[in-house]
């Protein structure tokens, strides 16, 4: 973390929304109160009963993407990853450390962690992550509207830079533009719906390197407009329609009913998926035209 990067983050806090935010899909339970806490303990405590698991599925996919993106002809040095809606740096933790999502849940909900002050937790976690850092760890930068979550991720060393900006409503800062220019891979879990084609358009306008995008998207949330926007920037989007990835248990029958309705309206079949009690996502991968597999 550098002073300049910290300044970047704080200078953009005024851009973060203050009013209620639209959830990714109508009828979906909102967890807004746990997105911007001083540390991630409440986040893991609240989501544990619902078995939130999408960052676990992202871990292998994003590691593989980063490695393949790094083998492109002309690629020099480690690939910089931009994690959108990065929250407390969970995808960065799983990408760059010998850790599983289950271990993060266990750590942040443990009696030992709950007994710590925020300062003690930060000191502890800095060592916790340093001890588990992988030798091929790559730079990760984060974008989120939650400044406290980003502060925690910077403090414990999960993110190399963080931007508390809302590109749905404001253009990117100069600092974020410069960071995107060096980015090779964009990742997203749990964020599509909060962010739309507007955020992607703003980011893609700043790209200088061949940019890959890998996004896990709830089946209740349309992705067509994002894919069309990426196409306009020269990226072809593919998804394997035979495969879904569970995100979490529904919080109530009403939430499940809403999700099943939305899936049906989208022309999809909820049988054996949402009908069984969990939100499911698809993985959309976008690559420069001509290189998509």
Q: Which of 121, 138, 146, 179 binds ligand SAM (CB under 6 A)?
A: 146
Helices then strands, each counted (H, E), the chain: 12, 8
* Closest distance to ligand SAM from the beta carbon of 289 (Å): 27
Query: Quick check: 212 and 185 in contact, CB under 8 A?
Result: yes
Binding mask 79-98 for ligand SAM (x = CB under 6 A): ------xxx--x--------
Query: How many other CB atoms are found less than 10 A from the CB of residue 274?
Result: 27
Taking the C-alpha atoms of residue 170 and residue 145, their distance in angstroms, rounded to an integer, is 12
Taking the C-alpha atoms of residue 198 and residue 238, their distance in angstroms, rounded to an integer, is 20
190 sits near ligand SAM (criterion: CB under 6 A) = yes
Q: Is 31 or 68 the residue whose CB approaches ligand SAM more closely?
A: 31
177-198 residues labelled b (16+ CB within 10 A) or e (exposed): bebbebbbbbbbbbbbbbbbbe
By Cβ distance, which residue is nearest to ligand SAM?
Answer: 190
What are the tokens at 229?
Answer: 């926007």
Q: Is 42 or 72 the residue whose CB approaches ligand SAM more closely?
A: 42
* Closest distance to ligand SAM from the beta carbon of 51 (Å): 13
Q: Is 19 or 111 the residue whose CB approaches ligand SAM more closely?
A: 19
Query: Quick check: 82 and 179 in contact, CB under 8 A?
Result: yes
214 sits near ligand SAM (criterion: CB under 6 A) = no
Q: Which of 189, 220, 262, 285 binds ligand SAM (CB under 6 A)?
A: 189
Q: Name the β-bridge partners of 163.
A: 143
Q: Is 64 or 169 the residue whose CB approaches ligand SAM more closely?
A: 169
Report the interface residues with ligand SAM, using CB under 6 A.
21, 35, 54-55, 85-87, 90, 143-146, 149, 166, 168, 189-191, 194-195
């Amino acid at each position: 973390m550098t002073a300049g990067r910290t300044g970047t983050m704080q200078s953009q806090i005024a851009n973060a929304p203050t009013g209620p935010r639209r959830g990714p899909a109508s009828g979906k339970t909102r967890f807004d109160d746990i997105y911007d806490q001083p540390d991630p303990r409440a986040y893991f405590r609240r989501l544990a009963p619902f078995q939130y698991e999408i960052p676990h599925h992202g871990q292998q996919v994003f590691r593989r993407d980063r490695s393949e993106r790094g083998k492109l002809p002309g690629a020099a040095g480690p690939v910089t990853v931009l994690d959108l809606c990065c929250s407390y740096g969970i995808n960065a933790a799983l990408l760059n450390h010998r850790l599983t999502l289950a271990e993060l849940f266990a750590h942040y909900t443990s009696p030992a962690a709950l007994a710590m002050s925020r300062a003690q937790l930060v000191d502890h976690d800095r060592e916790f992550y340093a001890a588990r850092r992988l030798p091929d760890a790559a730079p990760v930068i984060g974008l989120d509207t939650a400044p406290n979550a980003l502060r925690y991720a910077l403090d414990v060393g999960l993110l190399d830079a963080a931007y508390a900006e809302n590109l749905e409503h404001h253009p990117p800062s100069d600092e974020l533009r410069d960071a995107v220019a060096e980015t090779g891979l964009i990742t997203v879990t749990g964020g599509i719906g909060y962010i739309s084609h507007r955020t992607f358009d703003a980011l893609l306008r700043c790209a200088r390197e061949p940019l890959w995008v890998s996004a896990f998207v709830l089946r209740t949330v349309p992705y067509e407009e994002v894919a069309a926007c990426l196409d306009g920037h020269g990226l072809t989007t593919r998804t394997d329609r035979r495969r879904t990835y569970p995100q979490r248990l529904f919080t109530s029958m009403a939430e499940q009913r809403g999700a099943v309705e939305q899936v049906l309206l989208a022309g999809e079949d909820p049988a054996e998926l949402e009908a069984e009690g969990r939100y499911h996502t698809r993985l959309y991968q976008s690559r420069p035209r001509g290189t998509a597999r």
